[in-house]
Amino acid sequence: MMLVAGFSGVGKTAVINEVHKPIVRQRGYFIKGKFDQFNRNIPFRAFVQAFRDLVGQLLSESDSELEQWKTQFLDALGSNAQVIINLIPDLGTLLGPQPPAPELSGTAAQNRFNLLFQQFIQVVSTEDHPLAIFIDDLQWADAASLDLIQTLMAESQRGYFLLLGAYRDNEVFTAHPLSVTLAELEQTGTQIHSITLAPLPSESVNQLIADTLATSAKAVEPVTQLVMQKTQGNPFFITQFLQSLHQNQLITFDYDRGQWHYDIGQLQTAALTDDVIALMVAQLQKLPPDTQNALTLAACIGAQFDLATLAIVLETSPLEVATALWHALEAGLILPTSPTHQFF
């Protein structure tokens, strides 16, 4: 188990996503899910996202491989396969119709589910194809998911399963459910490795700005001081702040001279906010009305959404939704979860 902690925007997800490359290179599976601040009442939300992704990857394999997966899953889950299918409906496409599982309630049902999920993971995490699962925003995890994490970590003996987690340490205190869960895991002997990401130091911000503006580090020292004052070295805020300066034409490109141009006096006196929320709101308000409307309804769906669902909500076609969202995509305000958007 590896945890990455830090403030929002400090780069936790970017760091963990770097693990994706070597895992895929070793024929492993890398899947991810994210807890939602406003959907904490939905048990296992992040795990469902992650394992729907995994089943989608499995369904893209050859018929012979699919038959092998089906046999292995049914051997592991037995007559209780429907319990996991209820949580991950896409698995039903692979396993076919299954008999209803015996009715259980309370602790017995929870224990059965945890055991089945553990067996499910053992099938897909082997020496031939190790499994890494990235769970983001653990500070918003529900109690059932934290119990599941304890079960998976306490029983994992095979060494081919890696749980990666990211959380905002400024929102997690000693009595927080996540802190309690981690403390209990450590008492059972579970090895938990942690990395805490700090904001970028002034020297790194200086190098970043010098590289961005294609000039020397010394030449942009005044800009670096201003950026550090406004952003406190937060990588996400730095990016948004520099984009804001460019959009407000306080940093422009001189095509005649072939270089970036700015007036440090104008930068220092410009009425720019210190508040990242106000800055983001200003960015959103510059988008076309149809883009703002699409984003508003997309936010009601959740932290992740798909074009088909959003098209139904907007009562229009997926192509028109994609067109409306394109400005937000270019501004980096939304991120695609697959290369499919390129076809639009």
Indicate which CATH number applies to the domain containing 71: 3.40.50
User: Is 47 buried (19+), middle (13-18) or exposed (0-12) by CB count in 10 A?
Assistant: buried
pLDDT at residue 200 greater than cutoff 90: yes
Q: Smallest Cα–Cα separation from 264: which of 222, 229, 311?
A: 222
> Are 81 and 129 members of one domain?
yes
The bridge status of strand 193-196 relative to strand 131-136 is: unpaired
C-alpha span between 283 and 86 (Å, rounded)? 41
> Are 249 and 159 members of one domain?
no
Q: What is the pLDDT of residue 244?
A: 82
Q: What is the pLDDT of residue 140?
A: 94
> Are 183 and 52 members of one domain?
yes
> Are 266 and 177 members of one domain?
no
> Are 46 and 186 members of one domain?
yes
> How many domains does the structure of the chain reveal?
3
Q: What is the pLDDT of residue 110?
A: 85
Confidence of residue 273 (pLDDT cuts 50, 70, 90): low
> Are 234 and 145 members of one domain?
no
> Are 183 and 66 members of one domain?
yes
> Are 120 and 151 members of one domain?
yes
> Are 114 and 162 members of one domain?
yes
Q: What is the pLDDT of residues 21-57, one digit of tens each?
A: 888 788 889 999 999 888 888 888 999 999 998 998 8
> Are 191 and 225 members of one domain?
no
Higher pLDDT, 5 or 110: 5
Confidence of residue 275 (pLDDT cuts 50, 70, 90): low
Confidence of residue 104 (pLDDT cuts 50, 70, 90): confident
Please state, for a pLDDT cut of 90, what percent of the chain lies above it. Answer: 48
Which of 32-36, 102-106, 199-203 is least confident?
102-106
> Are 74 and 133 members of one domain?
yes
pTM of the predicted protein model: 0.78
Domain boundary among 151, 169, 196: 196
Domain boundary among 196, 218, 246: 196
pLDDT at residue 272 greater than cutoff 70: no
Domain boundary among 278, 304, 327: 278
pLDDT at residue 199 greater than cutoff 60: yes
> Are 21 and 92 members of one domain?
yes
Q: What is the pLDDT of residue 155?
A: 63
pLDDT at residue 157 greater than cutoff 80: no
pLDDT at residue 342 greater than cutoff 70: no
Distances (CA, A) of 113 to 5, 54, 107, 118, 158: 29, 19, 10, 9, 20
Identify the domain containing residue 293 by its residue range. 287-343
